[in-house]
Amino acid sequence: MQIVQHVLVLLHLLGMAAIVGGWLVVRGEGRMVPAIVWGARAQVVTGILLVGVAEALDDHVNNPKIGVKLLVALAVVACAEIGNARQKRGERVTTLVNAAGALAILNAAVAVLWR
């Protein structure tokens, strides 16, 4: 089960890297890239699975921290999905791209700094 947990952590980190990396590439261009959208989706799915695996292994789970991280992750997904839909209609989505990137960094900070 720990191998599954380690693979999920890797996928979770790759999702964050996709969001932040995608944001760094296009932050001033006003467009949403698929890496941000898929990274945001991956973050939510792998985060939920990581909590489930931790519970299954009887690891201590800080529920308030997980709740905050879930809310921030859902905000990232909302920014990415709304930005992607608006971009398909030809609109600039600079604010949503910047919000998704900043919220992903906030979520990483919560993960590392909240003890």
Identify the band that residue 3 occupies on the pLDDT scale cut at 50, 70 and 90.
very high
pLDDT given at position 1: 86
Distances (CA, A) of 15 to 18, 29, 39, 56, 92: 5, 21, 4, 23, 24
Q: Rounded to whole angstroms, how far apart are CA atoms 61 and 67?
A: 11
Identify the band that residue 27 occupies on the pLDDT scale cut at 50, 70 and 90.
confident
- pTM for the predicted model, two decimal places: 0.93
Q: Residue 103: is its pLDDT beyond 90?
A: yes
